[in-house]
A and B are shown apart, each in its own frame.
Chain A
Amino acid sequence: MNMIQAINSAMDVMMERDPNMVVMGEDVGYFGGVFRATAGLQAKYGKTRAFDTPITEIGIIGVAIGMGAYGLRPVPEIQFADYIYPALDQLVSEAARLRYRSNGDFTAPITVRSPYGGGIFGGQTHSQSPEGIFTHVSGIKTVIPSTPYDAKGLLIAAIEDNDPVLFLEPKRIYNGPFDGHYDRPARNWTAHPASEVPAGHYRVELGKAATVRAGEAVTILCYGTMVHVVASTVEELGIDAEIIDLRTLVPLDIDAIEASVKKTGRCMIVHEATRTSGFGAELTALVQERCFYHLEAPIERVTGFDTPYPHSLEWAYFPGPVRIGEALKKILKD
């Protein structure tokens, strides 16, 4: 399966198992979603379980919270993460706080799916990586898969989770892994081992990172599309890096991070999102606090620049092989 099919399969499996699960969002019903993630669900489960919504992100999330309070398990879709901001109040002030403020009287067991990230010439409003806004919010979990296998297992785990989860899908790798070489022909998932996706139910536990490549020279923390860009760059440069795919940003797998950095003595963080106050800053602080005496070089961050996501300048902006390579040389110098 490619990542779209895996995500679709996760929802299919869960809708089959749980009659309270509903999917909703702009164009998700009859049409099956602009990325086809919900294709076939309305035909199979009916219009009251997979339905199109008006174009109002406030409404989509607010209504999903109300449905959750009733006892349903809604999986709303925000068509692009760039368009999640109108719903920010409902997500931050309501979904994330409902359990806490009502002392468990009401909960918001919703999973908000949204395609995110760049590398597709999406310009300013189809490329953003807003995860840092949500990791800053107490009460919401943030999950980002990097392979079809993980996408399905993590999405099932997210839907089954009784807390609100933001599930960000790296749309650049929906159809195939991306190594950052935008000038080479696109690949599909077929050759990748993680495209082997079981048809039935399985979970990839939230809060657990994956070691994509074991190594001794440097620890690289990344997630989403960047996992593949980092892996390919490391391979090309022949560096013995340990690559950790975080998979869940909140709650974070701190044990995996700590063990790896203590082993390698070096830590590099790669994300597409802008740098200042991005999630990389939190990772930097955590590694600094916990691995200070093991560090042999300053922690490096390779991130998007602190600018809006540009259109024609995309490949200068994107943290691709060149930028990652330079940072690796720098961190390994000492």
Chain B
Amino acid sequence: MDALRANLPPLSLHVPEPKFRPGDEADFSDVDVPPAGSARRPDTADKADSFHELAYTLVRVLDENGQAVGPWDPKLDPETLRKMLRSMALTRAFDERMFRAQRQGKTSFYMKSTGEEAVSVAAAMAMAFDDMCFPSYRQQGILITRGYPLVDMMNQIYSNSADPLQGRQLPIMYSAKDHGFFSISGNLTTQYPQAVGWAMASAAKGDTRIAATWCGDGSTAEGDFHSAMIFATVYKAPVILNVVNNQWAISSFSGFAGAEATTFAARAIGYGIAGLRVDGNDALAVYAATQWAAERARTNQGPTLIEHFTYRTEGHSTSDDPTAYRSAGEPTAWPLGDPIRRLRDHLIALGEWDEERQAAMDRECAEDVKRAQKDAEKNGILGHGMHQPFETMFEGVFEEIPWHLKEQQQQMIAERKAAGI
């Protein structure tokens, strides 16, 4: 037996490696970018197995000249396009300011969504206001699009006296039920089966609302992703399952989530779920795909998985330094460009926008954010002591405070009193 084995070639273990590391020149010329307008748009009543090719291409609407082309053009009116542009710009301005607030020590933590604004903003615009979103931590654009007050987002980030979550949650883990925004958890992809459950409940009650959820490319590796896909397909849940493929999960490139072998959209095929792969930096493509998936869901055609092909332009979080693991040139070399610039160019090409109005809007967004920040800081910033009475930490664990928590609460009050604080 041993003699036989000696004649066999040794096995080798494949450990994926990203194409570029710090110091390398980034070159994405091998990324396949199909021309805008080239993907077909099936009827929303078509069976999922009749358009498998859409999981391997890219649904794109905006071409290199800023024109909207092809069957996926949602043909939005200029007013809607400007609203979309503004929500994206506001999201970026918000991110810039809060990132700086963290660097200034006003809060402990922040996560930007730079370069991914279309994924959340355009999707939120294509859904109804009362459809329930189960986001990850990088879809702040949904809250901004739905008009959630910037100042309340900041109050949460500062854990201050007006924090809607009473200082219990890490910054950016928002919760806003009245804006259809489910409580964000630090545990990745747990929201995926929860969104499916919400959608199943809506269907079971004969409601007309649908659910949508988002996770990153890295998070698709979690078991929750598989469980959600199984439940979604078995019960034809009215849910949109978004995978935001921004190429990176902290320092791990998407190859560690299986991207070397296939697309994330292609995972839908094995489950019998409709799968689309979309240019995530093309707001109109994201809008059109979401609208299409929403229509499928609303007509009981079941779930749709949308892979948003995009790029995480900035670090993972304020605790992350991307220059330690990837080429500094990647963000600019990324072939799908910047989602805000591309939508701006489109509006300009339509004659519905110009550089001056863009500059004015950018100033206005910066002013809005600055004003909100000023208001939020009136309620306190992190590091200026506790902004909530410390005994509130015992509330909300259960509906009513049980004896053991009351006892611990009393103990804490007594300890602090004895210590003179």
- Tell whether, in the assembled complex, residue B198 and residue A138 are in contact, meaning their CB atoms are under 8 Å apart: no
* Cβ contact of B201, chosen from A56, A66, A139, cutoff 8 A: A66
Could you say which residues of chain A place their CB within 8 Å of the CB of B211? Answer: 66
Residues of A near any B CB (own CB < 8 A): 22, 48-49, 53-54, 56, 58-59, 61-72, 74, 86, 89-90, 93-94, 97-107, 138-139, 141, 161-163, 207, 250-252, 254
Tell me if B196 is interfacial: C-beta within 8 Å of chain A: yes
- Tell whether, in the assembled complex, residue A54 and residue B234 are in contact, meaning their CB atoms are under 8 Å apart: yes
Could you say which residues of chain B place their CB within 8 Å of the CB of A97? Answer: 185
Please give the distance in Å from B179's CB to the nearest CB on chain A.
Answer: 10
Please give the distance in Å from B192's CB to the nearest CB on chain A.
Answer: 7
- Tell whether, in the assembled complex, residue A59 and residue B183 are in contact, meaning their CB atoms are under 8 Å apart: no
* Cβ contact of A93, chosen from B187, B204, B404, cutoff 8 A: B187
Report the contact-size class of chain B (Cβ under 8 Å from the partner).
Answer: 35 or more
Tell me if B175 is interfacial: C-beta within 8 Å of chain A: yes
Distance in angstroms between the alpha carbons of A103 and B165 in the assembled complex = 5
Chain A, Cβ-Cβ closest to B223: A58
Please give the distance in Å from A78's CB to the nearest CB on chain B.
Answer: 14
Tell me if B177 is interfacial: C-beta within 8 Å of chain A: yes
For B400-419 the 0/1 string (1 means CB < 8 A from A) is 00111000000000000000
Q: Interface on chain A toward B: helix, strand, loop, or mixed SS?
A: mixed
* Cβ contact of A66, chosen from B187, B193, B205, B402, cutoff 8 A: B193
Distance in angstroms between the alpha carbons of A65 and B192 in the assembled complex = 11
- Tell whether, in the assembled complex, residue A89 and residue B190 are in contact, meaning their CB atoms are under 8 Å apart: yes
Could you say which residues of chain B place their CB within 8 Å of the CB of A67? Answer: 197-198, 200-201
Please give the distance in Å from B137's CB to the nearest CB on chain A.
Answer: 13
- Tell whether, in the assembled complex, residue B175 and residue A102 are in contact, meaning their CB atoms are under 8 Å apart: yes
- Tell whether, in the assembled complex, residue B402 and residue A207 are in contact, meaning their CB atoms are under 8 Å apart: yes
Pick the interface stretch among B20-28, B225-233, B347-355.
B225-233
Could you say which residues of chain A place their CB within 8 Å of the CB of B192? Answer: 62
Tell me if B38 is interfacial: C-beta within 8 Å of chain A: no
Tell me if B362 is interfacial: C-beta within 8 Å of chain A: no
When A and B form their complex, what is the total count of cross-chain residue pairs whose Cβ atoms lie within 8 Å?
146
Distance in angstroms between the alpha carbons of A141 and B196 in the assembled complex = 25
Q: Which 9 A-B pairs have the closest CB atoms?
A: A66-B197, A62-B193, A59-B227, A63-B197, A66-B194, A70-B201, A251-B402, A102-B183, A102-B175
Please give the distance in Å from A146's CB to the nearest CB on chain B.
Answer: 22
With A58-B223, A103-B396 known as contacts, the answer to whether A65 contacts B197 (CB < 8 A) is yes
For B70-82 the 0/1 string (1 means CB < 8 A from A) is 0000000000000
- Tell whether, in the assembled complex, residue B183 and residue A98 are in contact, meaning their CB atoms are under 8 Å apart: yes
Could you say which residues of chain A place their CB within 8 Å of the CB of B187? Answer: 89, 93-94
For B158-178 the 0/1 string (1 means CB < 8 A from A) is 000000111011000101110
Could you say which residues of chain A place their CB within 8 Å of the CB of B196? Answer: 59, 62-63, 66
- Pick the most buried of A56, A162, A254: most chain B CB atoms within 10 A of its CB: A56
* Cβ contact of B165, chosen from A53, A101, A207, A250, cutoff 8 A: A101
